[in-house]
Structure 1
Amino acid sequence: MKDCDELKRWQQSLVNHLYWCAISSSSGEEAVAKWTSFSNHVQNIHSHDNVLFPECLHPALDGSRPKKWLKSASTALFKLQRIVSNKYLLKGVAKLSPRHQTSAIEGFHSVILRFAPKNVVFSYRGMLCRLYLASLHFNENGNREQLTSRDGTPAYKIKYPKHKKGKHTIQPLKKKPSYAYVDNLMRVFFDEVLHEPAKFTVELQELNIPDTLCSQFHRPDKQEAVAAYVSRFSH
């Protein structure tokens, strides 16, 4: 927006500050206090009214790293304060985890799509089996070690996602995935299932299959539905 170009200088600092609020706080209230202090920090004000975070923890700024401080009553500061103090965002900041992120579960969902793509319809049993396979694959490969070069340096890859608009992101390179769980499944199948299939068949038949979602709704009689539709336009 017009008169807000200077906020670009603070974009990465704001992202870093959000992560720092999560990992350095012992409570949600403390995380919110640290988060809202950013509105003062960008104005070169480092003392705050909140007793949970009365002042910034960085050392005194000597001017060796000049910053483009925001001016009070400026459009850029007003827009930034509206974002930082948004009540819905503050609720989310209070619930930030200091250790865990959603990347693991997002990776698991990506694995599910490989075993059960959304454009294919599966039965309940078929979907359940594919979820089991996705879980086996993810559990075996979710914590793969990072590749290293000959001198032992960790290997990384630079990527340029479209949503970054020209900016880069760093991705650690991992070792190739393992499929040892397939060998275990084949061993169980040939050593146990083929020799005594009745036991597994009974367990499969005893599986409690819930009703379909569409069965929960009432379907009207076709003639009654058509008559009601026609009567709406009879005038």
Structure 2
Amino acid sequence: MKSIRNYIYWTAATSTIGPERVAKWTSILNHVQDVHSHDDPLFPKCLHPLCITTDKRKWMATGTPAFCKLEKILLNKRILKAVAKLSPHHQTSSLEAFHGVILRFALKNVVFPFLGMLCRLYLVALHYNENADRAQASTSTGKPLYKLQFPKARKGECRAKPIKTDPTFRYVANLMDLIFNQVFVDPAPFTQELLKIPIPEDLCSQYERPEGGHRRLCFTVQFGCCLNPT
């Protein structure tokens, strides 16, 4: 399963059109049988060096329950349709990293007003854009640095993760320069722009509150029953 997961990433990264991705994806069924020549002209043979295998037990055989189950999964119409649309350029890892930065600036257990949250999201964007493409750290001799990581989802499997250089905060100096040299000198234009931002109503304001509803709710929670409002 680990090899198949790696293979689907390789399929997306080395293909240019959808049919080519599908051809490479379906070639797994030959590969697991130690067959490395394929009928599809878009991917006629595997690109790795061929190795002579003496132990045939390491490979699957056609007609076995395991092979039939793998074939059913890989050739599923929904899977093939999704493989054809794989993108080699856009990954969700950067989006997940951006969401992680949001948690550093705006904790989930703290309630912020709309403008406060908006300002924090702006800070998140500034910090992420400045540090998203940091280079890999290296030793004094130029050797790249890595660290071992043990993701919980991989059940103990470790992997080498590149260590990035320390983040920078140049945007902070730019903001301080803007505040002290422009906002404090003449705050009027900035205040006008701030007042133009439409602030939506609170979600709770969209619902009608019955009279005495808070008191009845308290009694309901305490006694486990619904009281007659009369």
- Sort the TM-score into its range (normalised by shorter chain): 0.7 to 0.9
Correspondence for 1:118 among 92, 108, 122: 108
Does 1:56 find its partner at 2:46? Answer: yes
Does 1:13 find its partner at 2:13? Answer: no
Q: Which residue identity does 1:31 align to in structure 2? A: R
Output the aligned Cα RMSD. Answer: 2.7
Q: In structure 2, how many angstroms separate the alpha carbons of the residues matched to 1:215 and 1:77?
A: 58
Q: Secondary structure at the residue paired with 2:58?
A: coil
Q: In structure 2, how many angstroms separate the alpha carbons of the residues matched to 1:165 and 1:213?
A: 41
Shift of 1:82: 2.6
Residue 191 to residue 17, structure 1, CA distance change in 2 (3 Å): same
Does 1:104 find its partner at 2:99? Answer: no
Does 1:188 find its partner at 2:188? Answer: no
Q: Secondary structure at the residue paired with 1:20?
A: helix
Partner of 1:4: none
Q: Which residue identity does 1:164 align to in structure 2? A: R
Q: Which residue identity does 1:147 align to in structure 2? A: A
TM-score (norm 2): 0.82
Does 1:178 find its partner at 2:171? Answer: no
Residue 88 to residue 212, structure 1, CA distance change in 2 (3 Å): farther
Q: In structure 2, how many angstroms separate the alpha carbons of the residues matched to 1:145 and 1:91?
A: 36
Q: In structure 2, how many angstroms separate the alpha carbons of the residues matched to 1:221 and 1:194?
A: 46
Q: May I ask how many residue pairs the two structures share in their alignment?
A: 216
Q: Tell which deviates more after alignment, 68-77 or 56-65.
A: 56-65
Partner of 1:165: 155
Q: In structure 2, how many angstroms separate the alpha carbons of the residues matched to 1:66 and 1:144?
A: 46
Identity %, equivalent residues:
50
Q: Tell which deviates more after alignment, 23-32 or 48-57.
A: 48-57
TM-score (norm 1): 0.80
Q: In structure 2, how many angstroms separate the alpha carbons of the residues matched to 1:36 and 1:101?
A: 22
Does 1:26 find its partner at 2:16? Answer: yes
Partner of 1:92: 82
Q: Tell which deviates more after alignment, 146-155 or 205-214.
A: 205-214
Q: In structure 1, how many angstroms separate the alpha carbons of the residues matched to 2:209 and 2:169?
A: 50
Residue 182 to residue 65, structure 1, CA distance change in 2 (3 Å): farther
In structure 2, stretches of 5+ residues that fail to align are 217-225
